[in-house]
Amino acid sequence: MSNLKHWIWLSLRKGLTGQNCVRVLEHFGTPELVHAADEEAYRMVGGLTDAAIRSLMNKSLDQADVVLGDCERFGIQLLTRQDSTYPRLLKEIHQPPMVLYWKGRQIAFDAQVAIGMVGAREATPYGIQAATKLSAELTRKGALVVTGMAQGIDAACVRGALKVGGPVVSVLAGGIDRVYPRYHKGLYEDVAAVGALISEYPPGTEHRGEHFPIRNRIISGLSEGVIAVESARASGTLLTINHALEQNREVFAVPGPIDAPKSEGTNRLIQEGCAKLIMEADDVLCEFVDRFPGKLRLGRSAALPPEAERQRLEDAAAASEHIQGRRTKEKPAGEERDDVVYLRWAECKDKLTDDQRTVLLALNGGAVQADDLVERTQLPARRVLSALTVLQIQGYVAEESGKRFRAVVKLKMG
């Protein structure tokens, strides 16, 4: 445990920039030896400011103890650069984090085709649609989406991956215990259930503006390639792309209208040859299929390899179970739940068409896919899908991960 304390201690030294932190660690070999060194030894490293040296001379481990206590309290795991599971690609970047704080599933990044997705916070409907579609396609075809948790494109990417069962990774610009923005609390919980929340900042750290550009190097650092979905000419998205180019990652961009301000950055990337124009997931994944044989599924009809398909189904089941469990409080049998809307069958007959009633009745036994509804109802697929669309608009049905549909009302036949 003392070793972990020293890693945290080193990562929290004020005035010690990322590169100098790496230099100090390389000079002394281990965080324990950095902690044990004196001022004279620090001055032999070179490049350290007086403020950095004063910070290193503070040998108290009290702050590290507080961080460890917070991690235990919030269910946050820690990963240091010495751990064998520390992502190889991230370790190779210019300023890799000393410590990663992690909540959720342990993801073997070295075996994943991780694709970073970034874009504007104030995204257009076009950008949201493109991000959601691409993220869902990438996830379904075996890739791992890595993004942030901001509004706009980040959130659309998260939702797209969750829609097909995940997993998905969100890299944060503050402590994992601090939800930002606040209305994304549900997304935080869903990502932690089927994927991972990652940060280099300890619990309790607020999400500050200056943290986001620093955070961006981790999104690109974890990824084999990075997609810019929507971006103005000068934006944080392009900072991430710059990191990706410096890290020798593949870069992709979604084209937009030539007169759209939110597409000017992505269009310029394509025009200047910095990014490959993409329109679907296969345009990205074709660049990695030879490096990850058997991992990806390209084309519309090809099946996933058995292992990848099994993992995808497990992820989808976990996502469905968690999301449904978070939204539905179970009570003893025979007792009505106060978070479920009860609809009398007589009212249903007056409000819905025959097809809609048939589909809703078929959903009364739990969440199922559209194909199962076709089988249960013996209605043509076109009519089932049409009924599902109207029922969702009216608030009677919700779509879950894995393209499963469930009734959000409970029918009372009496």
Q: What is the pLDDT of residues 192-233, one digit of tens each?
A: 988 999 999 999 999 998 899 899 999 999 999 999 999 988
| Rounded distance between C-alpha atoms, residue 348 and residue 412, angstroms | 10
Instruction: Give residues with Cβ within 8 angstroms of 315, minimum separation 6.
Output: 165, 166, 167, 194
Helix ranges restricted to H, 145-260: 153-163, 185-194, 211-222, 236-246
DSSP readout, 317-370? HHHHHHHHHHH-----TTPPPTTSEEEEHHHHHHHS-HHHHHHHHHGGG--EEH
| pLDDT digits 0-9 by tens, 6-34 | 999 999 998 787 778 888 998 999 999 99
pLDDT at 314: 52
The answer to which of 16-25, 62-71, 111-120 has the lowest mean pLDDT is 16-25
> Domains in the chain, please, with CATH?
2-74 (1.10.150), 103-309 (3.40.50.450), 332-412 (1.10.10.10)
* pTM of the predicted structure, to 2 decimals: 0.73
**Residue 350 pLDDT greater than 80, yes or no:** no
CA distance linking residue 24 with residue 53, whole number of Å? 11
| pLDDT for the residue numbered 252 | 96
Amino acid (1-letter code) at residue 44: M
Residues linked to residue 410 through DSSP beta bridges, in sequence order: 342
What is the structure's pLDDT at 413? 58
**With pLDDT > 70 as the criterion, what percentage of the chain qualifies?**
86
Whether the per-residue pLDDT at 309 is higher than 90: the answer is no
- State residue 330's pLDDT score: 37
Among candidates 90, 143, 152, which has minimal Cα distance to 121? 152
283, 273 Cβ separation under 8 angstroms: no
Instruction: Name the residue among 207, 204, 173 with its Cα closest to residue 66.
Output: 204
CA distance 32 to 140: 44
Structure tokens at 255: 């084209």
**More confidently predicted of 173 and 335:** 173
